[in-house]
Structure 1
């Protein structure tokens, strides 16, 4: 295994002489094995190393036990140790984030604080080596990430999973499966600890880890994790290639204050257009994280709209349909102030607007165009298009209307009558926060019948007892 990890480090150019490695060690099997392997290779490669352990303030005495265990391992193996404490539950409430996400943020913060303490600035150190953060993700983690992203909705990049090298972050044991790691430690008599929270099914990732992946390996293919890792590698190469081609396409659209997506841009393959727009987001804003495929779709859809239409995006980006194409730019301070004022007025007007849906008939509104039809159900094939839905009309008691979200809105989300708040659905489906007050919904009182382009209410789906069908068709997309 040490030979395999050595080759993996070399093939991915993870480490060289004089690099400084800060290893994130929790005390679990993966991180202890990674630490032992790195220690075995340290003299040969010539890098420096220390350990950072993050105490999340969540599991009480168990968390204290983990910290003490890692400190003892480091003392026995002669590795510098540093522990950083964060009150994750308190920060989670303050930041209005889940504990999982808060934990990720504080871990990143811990490594950046260590980088600063060690005297690194930017990518380079005071000498010739670089700063590296070693994380102990393995092939099983990669497979879990692929499945999680696939279930939530993703693209090629999301399916390529976890990368061996991502900026300062390296993952030396990503070439190993979890069972190999456990066997490695057992053969050498090396102790490790188990985080009790990993055994709980409270988190989605744990359910994938404890149930879905084992079922795939036991009932479908014993080498499922290995094959998923190879697929992730191929997808990562495809993503890298498309990113390169998208960057080349975008370069031809560069203007002094941003980018102009012209006629030549829009005759290119749609996948290259999407990659180019995402690249523009990152260049103009300095980040990619806050942008989704929904933002990309909004930009590309402006090509078919009249001049003067615009959208405001995160990080003060503004997209305008103008003569010659679609312009992407970053707003100036005065532009941002004017845009914020206009946006506030628009949203205030939308929140107060509720337009009754004529049944049957056509509604042309600021929310888009809605067409409704009524007909008898005679076992016809049910329409399952994104912007056309069929409802059991006789079950709808209140007059449907079109509006934006309001406090108390909900959908029935399963056949047992389970309900979910509309705001929760927006979060689960990764609808950007700045769009949630603009998206139209079809409602009957506080009950949402349909989010055009998204989910419909399970309560009103067609069944064998349906008498009359209400067909709704939507045109217009999200408000610009």
Structure 2
């Protein structure tokens, strides 16, 4: 069955939006990635498909579908088996591992093509609104973001499904998408339909349009933040104190968060840390502590983000729950809550472990930490969290 009319125009526009160069299609085996593979194949040139097998109960089923889709377009196929480590958000952990696997297999000149569509953008906006994100987060998924290409963003999920059906693509539906234990699935299956019922059928299109508009605003703010002089030397980061002080607070915050992401292993820091850097830049404080054993100090014309000096290994202390515990330069805020923390700076501990008492102490060389489906060196785990 041929794709005609409006859907044909959407498909043609998607093909036209794929940059020149070798392509790696992130092929899950679902309808969205199957249509993305068709778009890549229609564009022509060097194309291969990569499936990330997560080792979950339904992974074999989706791997077979992905292989069938690749075969239908005569595209080279590769399946990468990964392990998803335990963490506060299984969805985020799987997404991070999947992204790393695709990055590692793509060549330096390869574009990575995904099947994200318009409804994915709207769901991401809803998710990040609930988390209090700014324009960077709300700009959500962009058509081209670095080496990542998302050619289907003008299509709704229904559009993509109709194209896949019309083309007779051998895709499969991932059973895990029906699991309401996942936040994203609850947004898709519960919050989304309610929103459309209250605001109308174009609500998702409106959210996606807002994401595009915010993307343009975000790019302008990023360009302004990039103009603030910054440099690094011997593991320390320097920002022009004068420029941080006189810049619009939104621009200064972005310049600061650029550095905090580096020192915190990708995490942008919280509002308190941004305020601390601005306070040091304006001369209102000599030295202020940041998280992860980092500090900010004013040195002449620079505000410097540097490691907090540790003169000796701190003595072990008992973790106060709830409460705040100081361990050398580290501040540990413990509370009893049902909400899971967001990001790598927070962890969830079982109640029985807390009740038995927890001691905070320095790691010993060679110690390993249980990560659910294996273990890793404590020093490696600390490094991943931006801790020295």
Whether 1:319 and 2:300 are equivalent positions in the alignment is: no
Other-structure match for 2:80: 84
Which structure has the greater CA radius of gyration? 1
Match of 1:15 among 19, 35, 39: 19
CA distance in structure 2 between the aligned counterparts of 1:85 and 1:104, rounded to whole angstroms: 14
CA distance in structure 2 between the aligned counterparts of 1:107 and 1:24, rounded to whole angstroms: 9
CA distance in structure 2 between the aligned counterparts of 1:187 and 1:198, rounded to whole angstroms: 23
TM-score (norm 2): 0.74
Instruction: State the secondary structure of the residue aligned to 1:173.
Output: coil
Task: Note the 1:99-248 alignment, pairs <5 A.
Answer: 99-115=90-106, 120=107, 123=108, 130-248=109-227
TM-score (norm 1): 0.61
Instruction: State the secondary structure of the residue aligned to 2:193.
Output: helix
Seen in structure 2, the aligned counterparts of structure 1 residues 350 and 75 have a Cα distance that, compared at 3 Å, is: closer
C-alpha contact (below 8 Å) 1:278/1:288 kept by paired residues: no
CA distance in structure 2 between the aligned counterparts of 1:293 and 1:145, rounded to whole angstroms: 22
Instruction: State the secondary structure of the residue aligned to 2:137.
Output: helix
Q: How many residues get paired?
A: 336
CA RMSD of aligned residues (A): 3.5
Task: Note the 1:57-456 alignment, pairs <5 A.
Answer: 57-59=55-57, 62-88=58-84, 92-93=85-86, 96=87, 98-115=89-106, 120=107, 123=108, 130-248=109-227, 250-251=228-229, 258-263=237-242, 265-281=244-260, 285=263, 288-289=266-267, 291-303=269-281, 307-314=285-292, 318-322=295-299, 324=300, 327-331=303-307, 339-341=309-311, 345=314, 405=333, 409-410=335-336, 420=337, 424=339, 427-428=341-342, 432-433=345-346
C-alpha contact (below 8 Å) 2:14/2:39 kept by paired residues: no
Seen in structure 2, the aligned counterparts of structure 1 residues 105 and 223 have a Cα distance that, compared at 3 Å, is: same
C-alpha contact (below 8 Å) 1:22/1:52 kept by paired residues: yes
Structure 1 residues without counterparts, runs of 5 or longer: 124-129, 356-365, 367-402, 411-419, 437-445, 447-480
C-alpha contact (below 8 Å) 1:311/1:320 kept by paired residues: no
Instruction: State the secondary structure of the residue aligned to 1:230.
Output: helix
1:189 shift after superposition: 3.0
C-alpha contact (below 8 Å) 2:295/2:306 kept by paired residues: yes
1:330 shift after superposition: 4.5
Other-structure match for 1:50: 48
CA distance in structure 2 between the aligned counterparts of 1:273 and 1:349, rounded to whole angstroms: 38
C-alpha contact (below 8 Å) 2:54/2:81 kept by paired residues: yes
1:312 shift after superposition: 4.0
CA distance in structure 1 between the aligned counterparts of 2:241 and 2:318, rounded to whole angstroms: 33
CA distance in structure 1 between the aligned counterparts of 2:332 and 2:52, rounded to whole angstroms: 42
1:299 shift after superposition: 1.7
